[in-house]
Amino acid sequence: MFRTLLLIILFLSSGSVTAENKTILILADSLSDSYGISIEQGWVSLLQQRLVKQEYNYKILNASISGDTTHSARNRLGRILEDDLPDITIIELGGNDGLRGLQTTEIKDNLAGIIDILITQGSEVLLIPMLLPPNYGQVYIDKFSEIYIQLAKTEDVTLGRFILDGIAENPELMQRDGIHPTAEAQQLMLNNIWPELEMLLGKNQS
């Protein structure tokens, strides 16, 4: 939570956020929480810089928590929305659920609940799919991957690209734990989600 507040303060003090700015909520886990690197190096900070550079009038509320699950995120979403209703929400969740081998029906139900709340509040949703390593077995991996495809269709939300596409398979771009990307990978992460996000930015830009 301290890292999130620090990130918001950083953006406010930069002079780039005005009262007219819309909000992008990032509801995610350690991949978006700058795990193992500084906040300034993370892809979320790089996103704010790109938004300013390209003159998109959006501020970022980074509600990412390392180790977060879909269940936990669903439970805390109400408190987040008490302070700010986002115009766009990026959901990057499910990886920790999958790594724990949770039932795919439970993961899907939690994500659907999160999406339903956000849509009700008028937020556009960018759903970032997660992938699992091969040692989890093909049957479980397929069911897990299908969660995101099905939700994008049934909930009518935008499906993004795997945020670690082209990164997870490159050891030089991953930290020693083999799970979290390095500082050098953050720009690539932003590039992976940017095309679909930019489409939503244009749709919501006044």
Mean of pLDDT values over 30-40:
96
Distances in whole angstroms, Cα of residue 20 to Cα of each of 34, 88, 133? 27, 15, 43
- Give the position of tokens 């830009």: 205
Residue 54: what pLDDT? 95
Instruction: Using the Cα atoms of residue 156, residue 157, residue 158 and residue 159 in order, give the sign of their dihedral.
Output: negative
- φ, ψ dihedrals at 157, nearest 5°: -120, 165
Question: 13 versus 111: which is more confidently predicted?
Answer: 111
Going by pLDDT thresholds of 50, 70 and 90, the confidence category of residue 9 is very low
Bridge partner list, 62: 26
Output the pTM of the full model: 0.90
Local confidence band at 151 (pLDDT 50, 70, 90 cut-offs): very high
Residue 6 has pLDDT above 70, yes or no: no
Query: Does pLDDT of 16 surpass 50?
Result: no
Three-class SS state of 34:
coil
**pLDDT reported for residue 204:** 72
Give percent above pLDDT 90 in the chain. Answer: 86
Catalytic residues: 30, 177, 180
Query: pLDDT tier at 182 (50, 70, 90 boundaries)?
Result: very high
Mean pLDDT check: name the lowest of 21-30, 101-110, 144-153, 196-205: 196-205
Structure tokens belonging to residue 185 = 């990978």
Segment 53-94, tens digit of pLDDT: 999 999 999 999 999 999 999 999 999 999 889 999 999 999
Residue 1 has pLDDT above 70, yes or no: no
Cα dihedral 118, 44, 202, 20, rounded to 10, equals 80
Q: What is the pLDDT of residue 15?
A: 47
- The answer on pLDDT for 100 being more than 80 is yes
Fold of 2-204: Rossmann fold (3.40.50)
| pLDDT for the residue 107 | 98
Q: According to the model, what pLDDT value does residue 71 have?
A: 98
Residue 145 scores a pLDDT above 50 = yes
Which run of H or E residues covers position 197? helix 186-204
Instruction: Report the mean per-residue pLDDT for the chain.
Output: 91
